């Protein structure tokens, strides 16, 4: 007789009750993951075990009438990972994204997280993934703030007033204990002002909105960029203060002068080595086109910055095998690109909380597999 297999299904309401909105707890969990990334106790996809994931994009034109066409933020993506340490869990984030979804009353991206036993390979949980992904996205800048920001940082500037920008601010304010002011910049002033009011009402700090990137960035001790990939932004070196921490969680660029004087800290330099190698396989006119990390790849290729293989990761700083901030005047750029290890670890933590609380629904895969 074969083995019965069940797994736990957790809805969005379930994971909220399990603690999905606990930013403090999530920051601590993701700090653990950074240590595992630094020590090498993890596996992601691809031949070098460091792939961000596999993206499925649709063609710009197709002879098949039912096939979707390429559009901004129109994709599906599978992001597998194994996380070691106390987690010792395999899993995957799977999502689809369509920029017109909000017009349908849906989030732009709809995500699920699956967790699997590393030995039997059985599923142990299938979970609503939107909040898992959103909160962990915000908590990665939270860990960056914990280790890289000046302790007296008083002003946070957020570029982008969408859900990702809000999540990043929640992670930042949890760690920036002396924060007194928020400046929000967005293309739509009403969105920036609404975000500012939410923060002012919730935390009692001064907060205002603007459409001027220069106005926002020039006052920021911590600058969080979570702008849409549809409208990437460019910052100028002279806008960024002495001692500032610039956190890139979204698309954008900074002029070349900035990187000759600022320190770059990666989320995981090993993953960016893989990205760099993939870019080098492209035709020369297609390399190094979009994004802050890609811009750094270009400068490295041109010899203006050290090789990506010499990059310092935040986990190295946490484990004290590399230097983070060395002075109050030093400017630091933290690159937070997103990795499934964070979703899998946070999802596993929430799964354990859900089991303790008796949340979710058990679903049967089989009593005994038909194939035995």
Residues 101 and 207 in one domain: no
- Looking up tokens 């653990």, which residue turns up? 32
Structure tokens at 175: 């760690």
CATH number at residue 204: 3.40.50.720
User: Distance from CA of residue 372 to its chain's centroid?
Assistant: 41
Where are the strands (E) in 68-179, listed by range?
75-83, 89-97, 109-116, 123-128, 155-159
Residues 77 and 88 in one domain: yes
In a domain, 351, yes or no: yes
Tell which residue, 54, 110, 133, has the closest CA to residue 345: 133
Its domain, for residue 264, covers: 150-339
In a domain, 140, yes or no: no
Domain count, the chain: 2
Residue 293 Cα distances to 16, 40, 112, 248, 361, angstroms: 33, 21, 27, 9, 41
In a domain, 145, yes or no: no
pTM passes above 0.85: yes
pLDDT in tens, 130-165: 999 999 999 999 999 999 999 999 999 999 999 999
Residues 193 and 311 in one domain: yes
pLDDT in tens, 292-337: 788 888 888 889 999 999 999 999 999 999 999 999 999 999 999 8
Residues 191 and 321 in one domain: yes
Please give the pLDDT value at position 295: 87
CATH number at residue 50: 3.30.1780.10
What's the pLDDT band for 260 if we cut at 50, 70, 90? confident
Residues 244 and 335 in one domain: yes
Distance CA 205, CA 201 (A): 8
User: Distance from CA of residue 176 to its chain's centroid?
Assistant: 19
């Amino acid at each position: 007789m074969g083995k019965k297999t069940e797994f736990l299904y957790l809805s969005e309401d379930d994971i909220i009750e399990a603690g999905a909105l606990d930013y403090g707890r999530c920051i601590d969990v993701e700090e653990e993951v950074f240590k595992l990334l630094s020590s090498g106790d993890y596996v992601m996809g691809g031949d070098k075990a460091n792939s961000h994931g596999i993206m499925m994009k649709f063609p710009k034109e197709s002879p098949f009438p039912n096939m979707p066409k390429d559009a901004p933020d129109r994709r599906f993506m599978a992001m597998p990972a194994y996380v070691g340490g106390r987690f010792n869990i395999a899993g995957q984030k799977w999502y689809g994204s369509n920029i017109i979804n909000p017009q349908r009353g849906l989030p732009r991206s709809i995500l699920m997280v699956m967790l699997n036993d590393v030995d039997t390979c059985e599923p142990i949980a299938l979970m609503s993934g939107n909040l898992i992904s959103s909160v962990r996205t915000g908590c990665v800048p939270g860990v960056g703030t914990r280790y890289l920001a000046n302790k007296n940082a008083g002003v946070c500037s957020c570029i982008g007033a969408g859900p990702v920008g809000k999540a990043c601010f929640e992670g930042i304010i949890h760690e920036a204990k002396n924060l007194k002011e928020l400046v929000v910049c967005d293309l739509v002033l009403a969105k920036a002002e609404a975000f500012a009011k939410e923060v002012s009402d919730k935390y009692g700090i001064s907060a205002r909105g603007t459409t001027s990137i220069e106005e926002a960035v020039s006052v920021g001790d911590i600058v969080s960029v979570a702008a849409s990939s549809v409208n990437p932004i460019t910052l100028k070196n002279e806008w960024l203060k002495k001692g500032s921490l610039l956190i890139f969680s979204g698309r954008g660029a900074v002029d070349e002068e900035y990187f000759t004087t600022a320190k770059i800290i990666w989320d995981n330099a090993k993953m960016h080595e893989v990205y760099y190698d993939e870019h080098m396989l492209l035709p020369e006119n297609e390399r190094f086109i979009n994004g802050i990390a890609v811009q750094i790849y270009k400068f490295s290729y041109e010899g203006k910055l050290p090789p990506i293989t010499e990059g310092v990761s935040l986990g190295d700083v946490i484990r004290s095998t590399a230097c983070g901030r060395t002075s109050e005047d030093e400017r630091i750029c933290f690159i937070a690109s997103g990795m499934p290890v964070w979703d899998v670890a946070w999802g596993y933590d929430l799964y354990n909380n859900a089991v303790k609380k008796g949340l979710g629904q058990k679903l049967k895969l089989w009593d005994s597999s038909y194939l035995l």
